[in-house]
């Protein structure tokens, strides 16, 4: 890799799609981005291998080919890092084997992430590739928040605990929120509400995550587009015993046919708001259940943090749906939370405060940017590595370590 290489390719290989962005880290500008969808379907790429080759072709067509000297590294989003990966990690065969060993914890996601990494390595074997984990930001959670109250031996034998997801977004948004407050991340306590199709809340104390709403899998917590979020686990036994459903059927019910979709047949908040405004009772109830759950998490995380400096909305719903923000905070004046109607109505792609002046807790909207965060974490790691290897060449004593695998 050339010393002047400043570009990072970010790859997000999902179960049926590959998203990519090419960024120049000198100014964080986006040089290219795209999406290859419907992998494995008749109208899409045959497999992940073919999808990544399409990405390579698209980049080449734009004159930004993978063979470019200016490409410094590839950053891969990896969903599950378990307890092994607490930081961005330079990928080698050992790291790949570790990610593979976590497949039972993320059977849908990690295999796709792995295929993406393997194909990218075969296309550019000489290039540093970095794994950035969705779970990493949450590994700072204390045991009191991370453990389920079940038999400890059983839990440990099967690595059952709360890992949390969307960590890259929670890390980015909480840091940006501190910036918006004009404070250091270490000085502030922040609640982040990442409300997309998947949704999660996190409590961040002094820059470290102390609790988050997703658990062993992304099913726990808030009401989502198609996921139930929190539910009495006995519902699963009941469906098995009384409704005769198989585990796979219950899995599908709770992950794909529940949440907003299960409640009113739609998972897009725009449609739900429109239907609610037209007097559709199912849409209204779905909205109310969604908001009720949000409020419970806001209250819980105020209690977990003790003192809160900011409540921050992000992702598709959080950034765009003013009625959701208004309803989530309504009635919480006693907790120092309020939204200024005019500020809340402003549409913007920039971080912004929506609480009134002088409010005890700042309520804000901070757009997330997971690709930029992955690119920054990737570049920081390989830049350190470059400096280390330069120093070790000069002094012949240094080490180049920095794999970050703990």
In 3D space, the residue among 297, 90, 93 whose CA is nearest the CA of residue 193 turns out to be: 297
For the bound state, the minimum distance from the C-beta of residue 273 to ligand ADP, rounded and expressed in Å, comes to 6
Binding residues for ligand ADP, rule CB under 6 A, total: 13
> CA–CA distance from 10 to each of 13, 135, 151, 326, 374 (Å)?
10, 17, 40, 34, 7
**CA atoms lying within 13 Å on the CB side of residue 210:** 17
State the binding string over 221-250 for ligand ADP (x if CB under 6 A, else -).
Answer: ----x-------------------------
DSSP string of 353-386? E-SPTT-SSEEEE----HHHHHHHHHHHHHHHHH
| Residue of the chain from 14, 82, 207, 316 that contacts ligand ADP (CB under 6 A) | 316
Distance, CA of 166 to CA of 156 (rounded, Å): 23
- Among residues 167 and 207, whose Cβ is nearest to ligand ADP? 167
Distance CA 335, CA 303 (A): 10
State yes or no: residue 321 binds ligand ADP (CB under 6 A).
yes
17 binds ligand ADP (CB under 6 A): no
The tokens of 42 are what?
């008749």
Q: How far is the CB of 293 from ligand ADP (least distance, A)?
A: 16
Please report how close the Cβ of residue 91 comes to ligand ADP at its closest, in angstroms: 24
Site string for ligand ADP, 264-303 (x = CB under 6 A): ---xxxx---------------------------------
Cα distance between residue 49 and residue 117, in whole Å: 10
Structure tokens at 287: 């909205």
> Which of 27, 134, 151, 268 does the annotation list as catalytic?
134
198 near ligand ADP, judged by CB under 6 A: yes
Nearest residue (beta carbon) to ligand ADP: 316
Minimum CB distance to ligand ADP, residue 267 (Å): 6
Residue 47 known to be catalytic: no
- Which CB sits closer to ligand ADP, 268 or 384? 268
Q: Helix 110-123 crosses helix 48-61 at what angle (to 10 degrees)?
A: 50
Distance CA 22, CA 19 (A): 11
Catalytic residue numbers, as ranges: 134
Point out which residues bind ligand ADP (CB under 6 A).
196-198, 225, 267-270, 315-317, 320-321
């Amino acid at each position: 890799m050339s010393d002047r290489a400043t570009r990072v390719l970010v790859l997000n290989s999902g179960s049926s799609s590959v998203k990519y962005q090419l960024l120049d880290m000198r100014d964080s500008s986006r040089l290219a981005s795209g999406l290859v969808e419907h992998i494995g379907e008749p109208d899409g790429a045959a497999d992940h291998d073919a999808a990544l080759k399409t990405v390579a072709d698209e980049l080449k067509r734009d004159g930004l080919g993978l063979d470019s000297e200016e490409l410094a590294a590839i950053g891969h989003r990896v969903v599950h890092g378990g307890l092994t990966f607490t930081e961005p990690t330079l990928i080698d065969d050992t790291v790949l084997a570790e990610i593979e060993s976590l497949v039972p914890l993320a059977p849908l996601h990690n295999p796709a992430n792995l295929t993406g990494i393997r194909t990218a390595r075969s296309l550019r074997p000489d290039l540093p590739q970095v794994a950035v984990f969705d779970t990493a930001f949450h590994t700072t959670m204390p045991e009191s928040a991370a453990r389920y109250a079940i038999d400890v031996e059983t839990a440990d034998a099967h690595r059952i605990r709360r890992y949390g997801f969307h960590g890259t977004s929670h890390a980015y948004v909480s840091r940006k929120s501190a910036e918006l407050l004009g404070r250091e991340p270490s000085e502030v306590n922040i609640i982040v509400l990442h409300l997309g199709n998947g949704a999660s809340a996190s409590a961040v104390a002094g820059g470290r995550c102390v609790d988050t709403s997703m658990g062993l899998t992304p099913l726990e917590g808030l009401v989502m587009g198609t996921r139930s979020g929190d539910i009495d686990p006995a519902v699963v036994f009941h469906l098995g015993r009384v409704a005769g459903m198989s585990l796979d059927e219950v899995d599908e019910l709770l992950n794909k046919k529940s949440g907003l979709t299960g409640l009113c047949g739609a998972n897009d908040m725009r449609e739900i708001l429109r239907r609610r405004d037209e007097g559709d009772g199912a849409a209204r109830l779905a909205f109310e259940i969604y908001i009720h759950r949000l409020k419970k998490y806001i209250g819980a995380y105020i209690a977990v943090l003790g003192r809160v400096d900011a409540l921050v909305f992000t992702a598709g719903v959080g950034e765009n749906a003013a009625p959701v923000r208004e309803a989530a905070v309504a009635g919480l004046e006693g907790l120092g939370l309020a939204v200024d109607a005019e500020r809340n109505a402003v549409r913007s792609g920039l971080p912004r405060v929506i609480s009134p002046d002088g409010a005890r807790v700042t309520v804000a909207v901070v757009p997330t940017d997971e690709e930029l965060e992955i690119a920054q974490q990737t570049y920081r790691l390989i830049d350190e590595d470059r400096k280390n290897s330069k120093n070790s060449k000069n002094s012949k004593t240094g080490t180049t370590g920095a794999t970050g695998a703990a």
